[in-house]
Structure 1
Amino acid sequence: MRRVSSGGRVRTTDKTFFGHPWGLATLFGTEMWERFSFYGMRAILAAFLMAPAVRSGLGLPGTTAFAIVGVYQGMVYLTALPGGWVADRLLGARRAVLLGGFIIMFGHISMAVPVRGPLFVYLGLLLIVCGTGLLKPNVSGMVGYLYRDDEDARRDSGFSLFYMGINIGALAGISVTPVLARDSHWHLAFGAAAVGMALGLIWYVMGRRSLHGAGERVPQPLTPHERRVAVRWVLAGLAALAALTVLLAVTGLFTEDGVTWTVTAIIALITIFYLSYIMHGGHGITPVERRRFGAYIWLFFAAVIFWMIFDLAPGPVTDFATKSVDLTFFGLTIPPGWTQNLNSLFVIVFSPIFAALWLTRWGSRVSSPMKFTFALFMAALSFVVLAMAADVASAGVKVSILWLVVMYLLQTIGELTLSPVGLSVSTKLAPAAFKGQILGVWFLAAALGDAVGGQTFRLTHFLSLTQYYLVLAGIALVAGLFLLMFVRRLKALMGDEDVAPGQALTH
Structure 2
Amino acid sequence: MSSDAPVGARAPTGKTFFGHPRALSTLFLTEMWERFSFYGMRAILVLYLTAAVADGGLDLGESSANAVYGTYNAMVYLMALPGGWVADRLIGARRSVLWGGVVIAAGHYVMAVPTGWSVFAGMTLIVLGTGLLKPNISTMVGDLYERDSPRRDAGFSIFYMGINLGAFIAPLITGFLGEKINWHLGFGAAAIGMTFGVAQYVAGRRNLGDAGARPADPLLGADRRRALTRVGVAAAVLVAVLVVLLLTGWFTVDAVVNLLTVVTVLVTVGYFARILTDREISGTERSRMKAYVWLFVFAAAFWLIYDQAGSVLNIFAADRTDRNVAGFTFPASWLQSVNPILIIIGAPLAAWLWLRLGHRVSTPTKFAVGLVLNGLSFVLMAAAARAAVGGDLVSPWWLVAVYAIQVAGELSLSPVGLSATTKLAPVKYASQMLGLWFLATAVGDAIGGQVARLAQHWSQPTYFLTFGLASVVLGLAAVMFTRQIRALMAGIH
* 1:205-229 per-position Cα deviation (integer Å, ceiling 9, x unaligned): 3333444465444444321111221
**Match among 196, 200, 205 for residue 199 of structure 1:** 196
Which residue pairs with 1:228 in the alignment? 225
Which residue pairs with 2:437 in the alignment? 442
Please tell me whether the aligned partners of residues 90 and 219 of structure 2 are also in contact (alpha carbons under 8 angstroms).
Answer: yes
> Counterparts of 1:33 and 1:498 in 2: how far apart (Å)?
32
Query: In the TM superposition, what are the counterparts of 1:325-336 in structure 2 within 5 Å?
Result: 325-336=321-332
Aligned length in residues? 484
**1:420 lines up with 2:418 in the alignment:** no
Counterparts in 2 of 1:451 and 1:184: CA distance versus 1, 3 Å: farther
* 1:435-477 per-position Cα deviation (integer Å, ceiling 9, x unaligned): 4432222111111001111111211343112211122213313
Query: In the TM superposition, what are the counterparts of 1:61-140 in structure 2 within 5 Å?
Result: 61-115=61-115, 117=116, 119-140=117-138
Please tell me whether the aligned partners of residues 37 and 190 of structure 2 are also in contact (alpha carbons under 8 angstroms).
Answer: yes
Which residue pairs with 1:190 in the alignment? 187
> Counterparts of 2:246 and 2:214 in 1: how far apart (Å)?
43
Please tell me whether the aligned partners of residues 371 and 417 of structure 1 are also in contact (alpha carbons under 8 angstroms).
Answer: yes
Q: Which amino acid aligns with 2:389?
A: S
Counterparts in 2 of 1:132 and 1:186: CA distance versus 1, 3 Å: same
**Match among 469, 473, 476 for residue 478 of structure 1:** 473
Q: Which amino acid aligns with 1:378?
A: L
**1:298 lines up with 2:270 in the alignment:** no
> Counterparts of 2:420 and 2:137 in 1: how far apart (Å)?
21
> Counterparts of 1:73 and 1:418 in 2: how far apart (Å)?
19
Which residue pairs with 2:406 in the alignment? 411
> Counterparts of 2:355 and 2:23 in 1: how far apart (Å)?
28
> Counterparts of 2:146 and 2:329 in 1: how far apart (Å)?
51
Which residue pairs with 2:6 in the alignment? none
Q: In percent, how many aligned pairs have the same letter? A: 50
Which residue pairs with 1:355 in the alignment? 351
SS at match of 2:348: helix
Farther-moved stretch of structure 1 (130-139 vs 486-495): 486-495
Query: In the TM superposition, what are the counterparts of 1:172-191 in structure 2 within 5 Å?
Result: 172-183=169-180, 185-191=182-188
Q: Which amino acid aligns with 1:205?
A: V
Counterparts in 2 of 1:325 and 1:491: CA distance versus 1, 3 Å: same
Query: In the TM superposition, what are the counterparts of 1:298-317 in structure 2 within 5 Å?
Result: 298-317=294-313
> Counterparts of 1:40 and 1:269 in 2: how far apart (Å)?
30
Please tell me whether the aligned partners of residues 100 and 131 of structure 2 are also in contact (alpha carbons under 8 angstroms).
Answer: yes
Which residue pairs with 1:369 in the alignment? 364
Please tell me whether the aligned partners of residues 55 and 184 of structure 1 are also in contact (alpha carbons under 8 angstroms).
Answer: no
* 1:104-135 per-position Cα deviation (integer Å, ceiling 9, x unaligned): 111011111012x3x21111000001111112
Which residue pairs with 1:241 in the alignment? 238
Counterparts in 2 of 1:45 and 1:461: CA distance versus 1, 3 Å: closer
SS at match of 2:255: helix
**Match among 390, 393, 407 for residue 388 of structure 2:** 393
Per-residue deviation, 1:150: 13
SS at match of 1:311: helix
Which residue pairs with 1:346 in the alignment? 342
> Counterparts of 1:480 and 1:156 in 2: how far apart (Å)?
22
Q: CA RMSD in A?
A: 2.8
Counterparts in 2 of 1:462 and 1:204: CA distance versus 1, 3 Å: closer
Please tell me whether the aligned partners of residues 285 and 433 of structure 1 are also in contact (alpha carbons under 8 angstroms).
Answer: no
Counterparts in 2 of 1:163 and 1:417: CA distance versus 1, 3 Å: closer
Farther-moved stretch of structure 1 (27-36 vs 240-249): 240-249
> Counterparts of 2:426 and 2:217 in 1: how far apart (Å)?
19
Counterparts in 2 of 1:82 and 1:240: CA distance versus 1, 3 Å: same
TM-score, scaled to structure 2: 0.90
Q: Which amino acid aligns with 1:81?
A: L
**1:261 lines up with 2:258 in the alignment:** yes
> Counterparts of 2:440 and 2:13 in 1: how far apart (Å)?
40
Q: Which amino acid aligns with 1:332?
A: F
Per-residue deviation, 1:252: 3.5
Per-residue deviation, 1:397: 1.1
Q: Which amino acid aligns with 1:258?
A: A
Counterparts in 2 of 1:438 and 1:151: CA distance versus 1, 3 Å: closer
Q: Which amino acid aligns with 1:137?
A: P
Which residue pairs with 1:337 in the alignment? 333
Please tell me whether the aligned partners of residues 264 and 452 of structure 1 are also in contact (alpha carbons under 8 angstroms).
Answer: yes
Please tell me whether the aligned partners of residues 77 and 443 of structure 1 are also in contact (alpha carbons under 8 angstroms).
Answer: yes
Which residue pairs with 2:58 in the alignment? 58
> Counterparts of 1:205 and 1:223 in 2: how far apart (Å)?
27
Question: Higher Cα Rg: structure 1 or 2?
Answer: 1
Q: Which amino acid aligns with 2:68?
A: I
Counterparts in 2 of 1:62 and 1:367: CA distance versus 1, 3 Å: same
Which residue pairs with 1:3 in the alignment? none
> Counterparts of 2:444 and 2:147 in 1: how far apart (Å)?
36
Per-residue deviation, 1:234: 1.1
Counterparts in 2 of 1:255 and 1:426: CA distance versus 1, 3 Å: same
Q: Which amino acid aligns with 2:164?
A: N
Counterparts in 2 of 1:423 and 1:195: CA distance versus 1, 3 Å: closer
Please tell me whether the aligned partners of residues 154 and 351 of structure 2 are also in contact (alpha carbons under 8 angstroms).
Answer: no
Per-residue deviation, 1:186: 0.5
> Counterparts of 2:131 and 2:313 in 1: how far apart (Å)?
26
Q: Which amino acid aligns with 1:261?
A: N
Please tell me whether the aligned partners of residues 167 and 348 of structure 1 are also in contact (alpha carbons under 8 angstroms).
Answer: yes
> Counterparts of 1:105 and 1:384 in 2: how far apart (Å)?
38
> Counterparts of 1:400 and 1:294 in 2: how far apart (Å)?
45
Which residue pairs with 1:5 in the alignment? none
Farther-moved stretch of structure 1 (84-93 vs 485-494): 485-494
Per-residue deviation, 1:50: 0.8
Farther-moved stretch of structure 1 (161-170 vs 396-405): 161-170
Per-residue deviation, 1:417: 0.9
Which residues of structure 2 form unaligned runs of 5+?
A: 1-9
Counterparts in 2 of 1:427 and 1:16: CA distance versus 1, 3 Å: closer
**Match among 153, 164, 168 for residue 167 of structure 1:** 164
TM-score, scaled to structure 1: 0.87
* 1:267-299 per-position Cα deviation (integer Å, ceiling 9, x unaligned): 00000111122223443542x544443232122
Please tell me whether the aligned partners of residues 36 and 167 of structure 2 are also in contact (alpha carbons under 8 angstroms).
Answer: yes
